[in-house]
Amino acid sequence: MNKLLLSIARIKALFVPEAIERDMDKEMRFHFDMLVKEYEASGMSSRAAKEAALRRFGNLTQLKERGRDVRGAGILEELRQDLQYGARMLRRNAGFTVVALLALALGIGVNTAIFSIADGLFFRSAFRNVDGTILRLYGSRDNGGVDVFSYANYKDIRDQNKSFAELAAHQYIEVSVGAGEALEDVQGEIVTGNYFSVFNVKPRFGRLFLPEDDTTSGPIVVLSESFWRRQLSSDPNPSGKRVQVNGHVFDIVGVVPDSFRGTFGAFTTDMWFPLSSMQLVRPRETNLSQRGWGWLRGTGRLKPGISITQASAEIDRIAEQLRRDYPRQAGDINFQLLEAGNLRDELRADASRILLFFTCAAGAVLLITCANIASMMLSKTTARRREVAIRQSLGAGRFRLIRQWITESVLLAAIGGGLGLVLAIWVKQVLLSFVPPEWSNFSPDVTMDWRVLLFAAGLAIMTGVLFGVAPALHAGRASMFSALKSDAASTMGRRSRFYGALVTVQVTLSLVLLIASGLLFRSLRESQTMNLGFDGDRLVVAHFDLVRNGYKRPEQRAFYEQLFVQLKSAPGVSGVTHGMFAPLSNERESMGYRIEANDPPAGSKSFVVANDIVGPDYFSTMGVPIVEGRGFDPSLNAGSPREAVVNETFARKFWPNQSALGKMIGTGSTLDTRVVGVARTIAYYTLGETSQPFVYLSAQQSVPPAVSVFIRSAADAESIVAVVKQAVHAVNSAVSTNDILTFTTLRQGPLFQTRALMTTAGIFGSLALILTLIGVYGVISYSVSRRTHEFGIRIALGARRSGVFRMVIGEGLRLTVLGVVLGMLAAFGSARLLGGLLFGVTASDPATFISISLFVLITSALACFVPARRATRVDPIVALRQDA
Amino acid sequence: MAMKQIDLLQGTLDLLVLKTLSGGSLHGYRIAQRIQALSDEVLRIEEGSLYPALYRMEQKGLIESEWGISDNNRQAKFYKLTRKGRREMEAEAESWDRLSAAVVRVLKAIEQGA
């Protein structure tokens, strides 16, 4: 037999061990018969001959066993046996198996889902950047943050560098496609002509951009394949068709295949515009040649053999030259190169922080799962001591037994992993649903590919080994001898301690998760009920990007005036006004003020105070009470004496113990503005901020650099959003109405991180607690069953049943208390990481810490309840009669 | 049987089996018989050792097996040497010769010296 045939025989032996068996039977039968014949020939009776032959053969079963050992498929055959045996054991302990599988599926599913998201965001590239040769070029801020640069600077770098095979510049931009009801906001990019060649993208239809499109193209656009499918119904001949963008008609010149999702893969791009159409999609009173106008970021492909360090050094040299050549426009310019990923680099830190939190929480759940299954299996080792002893006496080696246990637990984990993979698909959707609505085109590629499968498989095997190893070593150690003796108390002590440690770890981890969730929950509730100082219900906030539609300043004013006319007569609208920024939008403008009777701080000419430039009826529409004086006079105009309204904090800070009315302030060199009213202090930037001084100026006297429109509704705010959108389209059907939201929705925006983390921590924490309670229950039940004899003696000697009950509960609590103390310490340390997400509560909020700790203690006491009751029901006579 | 029988060292059995097979293919019973006969009934092969040894050598590729028909017209499994087995046999036989010669020399020397 050659090697191949031999291997075939081995594999055959694995699946058809019966074939080997028959083969050996037949061969030995022949030998046996020949022996019998030989003995008969020497004169024995046929019966004596048979007996003699049998004696010679000895133990036929053992002989065949040895033959099997040699001939069988070896390790593969043993594995098959172990798997078969393991499956049988799992079927026999169906209750344990179901609980363990559920826990594993959850643990592995959640971890896999998080991995698949992290994979999509950080590791999988939307374009081929396997070798890391695609780099981002950014300007540098003083604090190391990323910045944009001008086309003129880009051109110099592009033309002077020798490191990049291709260096493109681009900027993402939101545009409105279509008109009226069908108006859709679409994510686009404005790109240089060489952009697509950086990524080696070939068109699906038509053509992509050329270098000359930077300066001399008409209004042209390249579409994504998904946009082409969606909006052009997969028109087989898209080139030459037209599409309306920001009110202008663009010619479609090409379609990019689905495999390319734009510069930042997690944020997909649907339209690409050449640099020359910048003035159409985003009109500016400037042109490309202005070196001071920074608006681009870069992406380039390195030449083969050039390292990022070499390229950085060269870019630094060019930057130095630029600083020398253009001290006025580029005197402080600096650049940095980063490896290109799927996220905008400004978001990377945020995203990785959230994912890190998720990963830790999910990891903790998996650890608890492992600890739990390990302790469940450990208690089964006791139940299975006889089985182990029998297998040992039949000649199974210690190593073989350990392997059997680990095979069994890995089998369990593998099934759990399979279920987890299914669960992961669902968990992933839940996690992605936390993404805030304004990230409309955020759709990272998180399909389950072989890497995710590999991760899940690896996790399952690792988990199986992790929770299988302790019981396996234990089973391996339990000798036949000690199993035949009755349970020796000495080995019990060590095992109980191990159990105890597992439970303590579980309690610690679940407490950390629950406390994190509790803190975030309190923050959220605090933020919902926090007094804003104004009436935020029934308020709609509208924001418009008029530059996109080509409005110059005077035209913008006309747009708003027409809009207000429309809105005031619209049904259900009880008030309309405007300001620069919505409260809590985290945006404010500040100016330097001179203030009557106050000397500016040393070294400066004025006080820096946040302000807003507001429309008529601002205070009544927003529900900000005027506590002294009055609001702005409706007949104010640029020529009348300047008026201001300050808030209470301002008045108290600068004119303590006196009325602010009639006092003078000014933004210029003179005190030219009279305070006519004092308004209640509200939350301006964020919830729970400390009271800030604030100044309101009138839009009738100052030109606001930004406009937000506020509409008060007579009834529910949600009901007039559509009315507002209609009013906008009555003025201009090409203006996007995407940014018209109720204030209630708007204020949820910044809370999405808190909400996502709270929900995750809450779900994971509850899961962890349930697992932990099962663990506590298991350990105490086990302990009670071990101590039946002892309880019997105690009760026989007159111990009260209530005393026994307390003893068992006490044992359970001892395990938990240590875990709770450790958990509180760990939570105290880790809650600081949540710092920025908490408001209204501190990271060491005693109420949260104490209530959750108590909750965990009480639930674990309850988990001990059933075994404790069992302990009190021990019948001393039965217990004592049992062999100790 | 009255004659004193000698337990075989591990490895020696393998050599004997290989040598026995060098004359052509045989089935297990015949191998045992042949060794016993050639050693003038001094070496008796236990079936309990023979088959494991055969299976082990087959796994190692020293011999290969095939079902055939025995002298008495029954199905029997015949073993025969492979090329690798023949090389192994030669190497083993040579080292056995050296070993036994050395043992004999030592025994003789001690006899004469004493």
Q: What is the pLDDT of residue A493?
A: 56
**Residue B3 within any structural domain of the chain:** no
Chain B neighbors of A26, CB-CB under 8 A: 75, 77
- Per the structure, how many domains does chain B have? 1
Nearest-Å Rg of the Cα atoms of chain A is 38
Q: What is the pLDDT of residue A483?
A: 44
Span A819-831, mean pLDDT? 88
Span A346-366, mean pLDDT? 77
Q: Are A209 and A256 in contact (CB under 8 A)?
A: no
Span A532-547, mean pLDDT? 85
Chain A neighbors of B59, CB-CB under 8 A: 6, 70-71
Interface test with A, best of B10, B14, B47, B72 (most A CBs within 10 A): B47
Asked if the Cβ–Cβ distance from A31 to B28 is below 8 Å, we say: yes
**In the 3-class helix/strand/coil scheme, how is A445-477 assigned residue by residue?**
CCCCCHHHHHHHHHHHHHHHHHHHHHHHHHHHH
Q: Which residues contact A60 (CB under 8 A, 6 or more apart)?
A: A28, A54
pLDDT score of A76 more than 50: yes
**Residue B51 within any structural domain of the chain:** yes
pLDDT averaged over every residue in chain A: 82
Q: What is the pLDDT of residue A489?
A: 44
- Nearest residue of chain A to residue B80 (CA atoms): A1
Asked if the Cβ–Cβ distance from A58 to B61 is below 8 Å, we say: no
Q: Which of A361-370, A557-566, A702-711, B56-65 has the lowest mean pLDDT?
A: A361-370
Q: What is the pLDDT of residue A614?
A: 92
Alpha carbons B52 and B48: distance in angstroms, whole number: 7
pLDDT score of A65 more than 80: no
pLDDT score of A835 more than 80: no
**Residue B4 within any structural domain of the chain:** no
Chain CA centroid to CA A819, Å:
27
State the virtual CA torsion across A838, A844, A850, A854 in degrees, nearest 10: 80
- Nearest residue of chain B to residue A57 (CA atoms): B47
Comparing CB atoms, the residue among B27, B47, B70 nearest residue A56 is B47
Q: CB of B47 within 8 Å of any CB in chain A? A: yes
Give A852's DSSP letter: H
Alpha carbons A463 and A474: distance in angstroms, whole number: 18
Span B41-50, mean pLDDT? 78
Domain locations in chain A?
A: 3-73, 74-124+347-485, 134-341, 488-530+749-884, 539-748
Asked if the Cβ–Cβ distance from B64 to A3 is below 8 Å, we say: no
Asked if the Cβ–Cβ distance from B51 to A63 is below 8 Å, we say: yes
Q: What is the pLDDT of residue A684?
A: 85
pLDDT tens for residues A187-241?
899 999 999 999 888 998 889 998 888 887 788 999 999 899 988 888 888 888 8
**Residue B77 within any structural domain of the chain:** yes
Alpha carbons A562 and A558: distance in angstroms, whole number: 6
The phi and psi torsions of A587 (rounded to 5 degrees) equal: -125, 135
Q: Which residues contact A808 (CB under 8 A, 6 or more apart)?
A: A780, A783, A784, A864, A867, A868, A871
Q: CB of B75 within 8 Å of any CB in chain A? A: yes
Q: CB of A22 within 8 Å of any CB in chain B? A: no
- In three-state secondary structure terms, A183 is coil
pLDDT tens for residues A616-634?
889 999 989 999 999 998 8
- Nearest residue of chain A to residue B75 (CA atoms): A30
pLDDT score of A27 more than 80: yes
- Nearest residue of chain A to residue B57 (CA atoms): A70
Across A450-464, A476-490, A868-882, which has the greatest mean pLDDT?
Answer: A450-464
- Nearest residue of chain B to residue A63 (CA atoms): B48
Q: What is the pLDDT of residue A442?
A: 74
Q: Which residues contact B82 (CB under 8 A, 6 or more apart)?
A: B61, B62, B63, B64
- Token pair for residue A803? 């005393």
pLDDT tens for residues A370-397?
887 777 777 666 666 666 666 666 666 6
- Which range of residues forms the domain containing residue B86? 12-113
- Token pair for residue A699? 């839009």
Top-confidence residue, A343 or A727: A727
Chain A neighbors of B83, CB-CB under 8 A: none
Q: What is the pLDDT of residue A595?
A: 92
H helices of A572-642, where? 618-622
The phi and psi torsions of A130 (rounded to 5 degrees) equal: -60, -40
Asked if the Cβ–Cβ distance from B55 to A71 is below 8 Å, we say: yes
pLDDT score of A821 more than 70: yes
pLDDT score of A504 more than 90: no
pLDDT score of A329 more than 70: yes
Bridge partners (DSSP) listed for residue B64: B80
Q: What is the pLDDT of residue A419?
A: 92
What does pTM read for this prediction? 0.64
Comparing CB atoms, the residue among B59, B74, B76 nearest residue A70 is B59
Beta strands in A510-659 (DSSP E): 539-543, 573-579, 589-595, 607-614, 626-629, 642-647
**Residue B2 within any structural domain of the chain:** no
Alpha carbons A145 and A569: distance in angstroms, whole number: 47
Comparing CB atoms, the residue among A1, A23, A31 nearest residue B29 is A31
Q: What is the pLDDT of residue A437?
A: 65
Task: Tell me which residue of A628, A621, A624, A771 sits closest to A708, measured CA to CA.
Answer: A621
- Token pair for residue A847? 């109420």
Top-confidence residue, A548 or B19: B19
pLDDT score of A524 more than 80: yes
Asked if the Cβ–Cβ distance from A63 to B75 is below 8 Å, we say: no
Q: What is the pLDDT of residue A70?
A: 62
Backbone conformation region of residue A603, classed left if phi is above 0, alpha if psi is from -120 to 50, else beta: left
- In three-state secondary structure terms, A73 is coil
Helix (H) or strand (E) holding A734: none
Span A852-857, mean pLDDT? 92
- In three-state secondary structure terms, A710 is strand
Span A791-807, mean pLDDT? 85
Q: Are B60 and A61 in contact (CB under 8 A)?
A: no
Q: CB of B29 within 8 Å of any CB in chain A? A: yes
- Token pair for residue A144? 């190391």
Across A46-60, A479-493, A839-853, B79-93, which has the greatest mean pLDDT?
Answer: B79-93
pLDDT score of A884 more than 50: no
Chain A neighbors of B27, CB-CB under 8 A: 27, 30-31
Give A600's DSSP letter: P
Beta strands in A499-546 (DSSP E): 539-543
The pairing of beta strand A220-224 with beta strand A248-256: parallel
Bridge partners (DSSP) listed for residue A134: A301
pLDDT tens for residues A473-492?
766 565 444 444 444 444 44
Comparing CB atoms, the residue among A6, A30, A62 nearest residue B74 is A30
Percent of chain A with pLDDT over 90: 19
Q: What is the pLDDT of residue A698?
A: 92
Alpha carbons A517 and A837: distance in angstroms, whole number: 12
Q: Are A494 and A352 in contact (CB under 8 A)?
A: no
Q: What is the pLDDT of residue A72?
A: 54
Asked if the Cβ–Cβ distance from B46 to A35 is below 8 Å, we say: no
A652: exposed, middle or buried (Cβ count in 10 Å: 0-12, 13-18, 19+): middle
- Nearest residue of chain B to residue A7 (CA atoms): B59
Rounded to the nearest 10 degrees, what angle do helices A450-477 and A94-118 cross at? 140
Span A258-275, mean pLDDT? 85
Q: What is the pLDDT of residue A1?
A: 45
Alpha carbons A196 and A253: distance in angstroms, whole number: 14
- Nearest residue of chain B to residue A32 (CA atoms): B29
> Which domain CATH number covers B96?
1.10.10.10
